């Protein structure tokens, strides 16, 4: 990967379509599509690579393992890793393992790290239905921490289940970033990314990121024009080295996100930090 030639690094993109075992659109994906008013066809991983390559943007890509709680089969971690490595000029593979999988999930995490060069792990506590600080998840975090890899946690409101009866069973309480604060205390050497502006807990997320040196915030899942004022303030000042560009692609495209980012009050010297330099440091690229 020629990092210097990149325009940006998107730390939050989704692998939703398997090229090897295609699955129909799930009810949760349909609800998220309606919530984000997303009308484009769902791309495969190679199509995502082509899309980002055209824009000279690297992307962190991952599935979301919610099979235990939701019954939806994710794109296999192995497929994500293999296709990302085939497109390593532009893609960085993260894996997703539901902590409820216990010892089997721990074995998979070790295998993915050793055999597939996975570069990080994605967790969605609301979708996977667990508190991030549940001690049953700690053995899995220990594997990630031992490898020196980052863990990315969904926080805040969830497009998953929005508009479905009963929110599709998604309990928003699991998205409170204060749960992740405990994880940051107990795993001080594991880099942590709080995914999304964490509404309605934005102030909590900012406090955690300010307080814990290894915690970052990604800006995915929202158009920048809707960012809360306090998020913009801290991104410009005390957290300027800890805020990361992310889209939530394919639900939000980098074209839309970057166009809206141009119109918000981010300092000129901070823009390159958010768009690329902070992620370059966190992900140890170049």
Would you say 59 and 52 are in contact if contact means Cβ atoms under 8 Å apart?
Answer: yes
Residues in the chain: 286
Q: What confidence score (pLDDT) does residue 159 get?
A: 82
Q: What confidence score (pLDDT) does residue 286 get?
A: 75
Question: Which residue segments constitute the domains of the chain, with CATH numbers given?
Answer: 3-282 (3.20.20.140)
C-alpha to C-alpha distance for 214 and 177, rounded to whole angstroms: 14
Would you say 129 and 69 are in contact if contact means Cβ atoms under 8 Å apart?
Answer: yes
Q: What confidence score (pLDDT) does residue 38 get?
A: 63
Q: What confidence score (pLDDT) does residue 51 get?
A: 97
Residue with the two structure tokens 């995914």: 195
C-alpha to C-alpha distance for 158 and 127, rounded to whole angstroms: 9
C-alpha to C-alpha distance for 281 and 61, rounded to whole angstroms: 18
Q: What confidence score (pLDDT) does residue 33 get?
A: 67
C-alpha to C-alpha distance for 79 and 229, rounded to whole angstroms: 39
Q: What confidence score (pLDDT) does residue 11 get?
A: 98
C-alpha to C-alpha distance for 125 and 98, rounded to whole angstroms: 9
Q: What confidence score (pLDDT) does residue 72 get?
A: 83
Residue with the two structure tokens 């303030």: 233
C-alpha to C-alpha distance for 24 and 9, rounded to whole angstroms: 29
Q: What confidence score (pLDDT) does residue 62 get?
A: 98
Spans of the chain, pLDDT less than 50? none
Would you say 255 and 226 are in contact if contact means Cβ atoms under 8 Å apart?
Answer: no
3-state secondary structure 123-178: ECHHHHCCCCCCHHHHHHHHHHHHCCCCEEEECCCCCCCCCCHHHHHCCHHHHCCH
Nearest to 150 by CA among 2, 7, 11, 3: 11
Would you say 152 and 122 are in contact if contact means Cβ atoms under 8 Å apart?
Answer: yes
Taking only Cα atoms into account, the Rg of the chain, rounded to an integer number of angstroms, comes to 17
DSSP the chain: --GGG-SEEEEEEE----SSS--PPPHHHHHHHHHHT--SPPPPHHHHHHHHHHHTEEEEEE---BHHHH-BPPPPHHHHHHHHHHTTTTEEE-EE--GGGHHHHHHHHHHHHHHH----EEE-HHHHTS-TT-GGGHHHHHHHHHTT--EEEE-S--STTTTSGGGGG--GGGG-THHHHHHHHH-TTS-EEEES--TTSHHHHHHHHHH-TTEEEE-TTS-GGG--HHHHHHHHTTTTTSEE----BTSS-HHHHHHHHTTS---TTTHHIIIIIHHHHHTT--
């Amino acid at each position: 990967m020629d990092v210097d030639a990149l325009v940006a690094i998107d730390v939050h993109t989704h692998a939703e379509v398997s090229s090897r075992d295609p699955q129909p659109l799930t009810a949760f994906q349909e609800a998220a599509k309606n919530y984000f008013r997303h009308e484009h066809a769902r791309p495969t991983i190679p199509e995502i690579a082509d899309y980002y390559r055209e824009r000279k943007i690297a992307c962190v890509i991952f599935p979301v393992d919610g099979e235990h709680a939701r019954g939806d089969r994710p794109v296999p971690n192995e497929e994500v890793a293999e296709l990302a490595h085939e497109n390593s000029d532009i893609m960085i593979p993260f894996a997703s393992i539901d902590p409820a999988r216990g010892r089997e999930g721990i074995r998979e995490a070790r295998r993915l790290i050793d055999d597939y060069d996975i570069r990080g792990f994605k967790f969605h506590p609301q979708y996977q239905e667990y508190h991030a600080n549940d001690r049953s998840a700690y053995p899995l975090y220990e594997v990630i921490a031992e490898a020196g890899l980052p863990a990315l946690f969904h926080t805040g409101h969830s497009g998953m289940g929005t508009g479905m009866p009963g929110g599709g069973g998604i309990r928003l309480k699991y998205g409170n970033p204060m749960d992740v604060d405990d994880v940051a205390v107990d795993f001080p050497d594991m880099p942590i990314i709080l995914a999304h502006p964490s509404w309605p807990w934005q102030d909590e997320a900012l406090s955690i990121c300010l307080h814990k040196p290894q915690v970052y915030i990604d800006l995915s899942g929202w158009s920048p024009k809707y960012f809360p004022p306090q998020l913009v303030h801290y991104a410009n000042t005390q957290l300027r080295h800890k805020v990361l560009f992310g889209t939530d692609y394919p639900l939000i495209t980098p074209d839309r996100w970057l166009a809206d980012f141009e119109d918000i009050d981010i300092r000129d010297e901070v823009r390159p930090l958010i768009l690329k330099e902070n992620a370059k440091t966190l992900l140890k690229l170049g």
